[in-house]
Amino acid sequence: MPPTRVRWTIALLLLCITSVTYLDRLNIMVAATRIQDEFALTEVQIGTILSAFVLGYALFQIPGGILADALGPRRLLGLALFWWSVFTILTALTADLPLTRWMGIAWAFILVRFLVGVGEAPALPGANKMIGLWMAPEERALGNGIFIAGLGLGGALAPPLVVWLMETWGWRASFWVTGLLGFPLLMCWLMAVTDRPENHPRVNEAELAHIRGSRGTVESQTAPSSTPWRLVLSRADVWALVGSYFLAGYTAYIFFTWSFLYIVNVRKLPVARAGFWTMAPFLAMAILSLVGGRVSDWTTRRWGKRWGRRLPVISGMSLASLFLIVGSQTSHARLAIICLALAAGLTGFATVNWWATTVDLTRRFAGSLAGLMNTAGNLGGVASPTLTPYLAERFGWEMALAVAAAAALLAGALWVFIHPDRPLEEAAMSTGAHHGGKR
């Protein structure tokens, strides 16, 4: 009997979840112009509101990853989806909340968006954990590419959808609609998913054998019940992985937070047209994330995990850096947007390898390691929305984008120190055996 394909249904549901996270994350980027005008907020206040989400998101990455390992990703993602959908809806009601009278409108928006970030924090570590449980090793990068493509898909849908909702019913409607989308998705998730393939009634033995096919037994025999943080943090390449993702996060958040305002305020396109053109970076990211997953799986089969993961990151981030520089220097608005879109797409092309590598290094604690890594990426994202307008105001947008290009280039360069072919548990066992032999 041929294997069932339930694992791809799980991957598509993860794509839907990550798409909704980015609708609920990026709606404020597009609505920021109307919010700024209505409440007379400064650009620094708007930048702080944008950063507040990222701060909540970053601070709760590690707790989210630990909970994904401990509780299982199904329950955790369901709770997270409910949480962030509720607070997305509350964003529309911020001016009417009692806390606005106590702390002022700017700080009220900051607090609500911080709590949206807290709710979304477990999404990617939980999705990564689910891919580790459900995908065969030779499909892992493509599985990660599918849920990362959801970030680009949600980002592509957000600008035109939010612009249309704002023009039709006002900016508040964008938060009502995007928040309410989470509830039917939550029902589908809880009804269709189990944490492990062996517990799913529609998975047959052939699919289960395929998922387990080339998986070793080290994890089940040796893995402790709680995250071995001493082992994780003792590895230099883990720190290189974390540091490189910090730099990649700084670059990526240029697109997630300032692309719409850059197109409107710097490239001088009307809001309606800007909503269309802002789709370009996110569509490129959605498409090239899938391509990146395919390429990473192929290069890994061809040259092994070490260079199979390294080469797509180094090449992707180097080209992203180049297109950021070219896009910032050209005077032609559409050409600049196309260059920025290619830079965003190539960042997505490379990003799948960071996530796949967390599972390569430790499948049992992939949620915790992914949470640590994504904390760093989003701390880069905390800096980016605030530092970018400061650099642009002080030195010009060319310098602001050049800093992002330098961060992308260095993020790729750090991969020469990362070893996806040396799983944490196996390395610890071999080190222990070596020391034991010497004694």
The pLDDT-based confidence of 426 (bands split at 50, 70, 90) is: low
Tell me if 374 is assigned to some domain.
yes
Tell me if 217 is assigned to some domain.
no
Query: Is the whole model's pTM more than 0.75, yes or no?
Result: yes
Give the span between the Cα atoms of 439 and 431, in whole angstroms: 12
Tell me if 219 is assigned to some domain.
no
Question: DSSP label at 255?
Answer: I
What is the predicted pLDDT for the residue at 180? 95
Number of domains in the chain: 1
Q: Are 123 and 17 in contact (CB under 8 A)?
A: yes
Longest Cα pair distance anywhere in the chain, in angstroms?
75
Tell whether the torsion through CA atoms of 338, 23, 350 and 392 is positive or negative: positive
| Helix-strand-coil split of the chain, %, nearest 5 | 85, 0, 15
Residue 251, Cβ density class (10 Å: 0-12 exposed, 13-18 middle, ≥19 buried): buried
Tell me if 221 is assigned to some domain.
no
Angle of helix 73-92 relative to helix 182-192, nearest 10 degrees, comes to: 170
Question: DSSP label at 135?
Answer: S
What is the predicted pLDDT for the residue at 428? 52
Question: DSSP label at 4?
Answer: P
Tell me if 311 is assigned to some domain.
yes
Tell me the mean pLDDT in the region 414-437. Answer: 70
What is the predicted pLDDT for the residue at 438? 46
Tell me the mean pLDDT in the region 25-46. Answer: 83
Phi-psi region of 334 (alpha: psi -120 to 50; beta: other; left: phi over 0): alpha
Tell me if 18 is assigned to some domain.
yes
The per-residue pLDDT for range 307-319, each reduced to its tens digit, is 999 999 999 999 9
Cβ contacts of residue 173 below 8 Å, gap of 6+?
92, 165, 166
How many whole angstroms from its chain centre is CA 233? 22
User: Which range has the worst mean pLDDT, 94-103, 362-371, 412-421?
Assistant: 94-103
The pLDDT-based confidence of 90 (bands split at 50, 70, 90) is: very high
CATH number at 362 reads 1.20.1250.20
What is the predicted pLDDT for the residue at 244? 97
Tell me if 280 is assigned to some domain.
yes
Tell me if 328 is assigned to some domain.
yes
Residue 221, Cβ density class (10 Å: 0-12 exposed, 13-18 middle, ≥19 buried): exposed
In the structure encoding, which two tokens stand for residue 290, read together?
Answer: 């899938």
Give the span between the Cα atoms of 58 and 54, in whole angstroms: 6
Structural domain range at position 354: 6-212+226-438
**The residue to which tokens 């970053």 are assigned:** 58
Give the span between the Cα atoms of 424 and 224, in whole angstroms: 12
Average pLDDT of every residue of the chain: 87
The per-residue pLDDT for range 256-271, each reduced to its tens digit, is 777 777 777 777 777 6
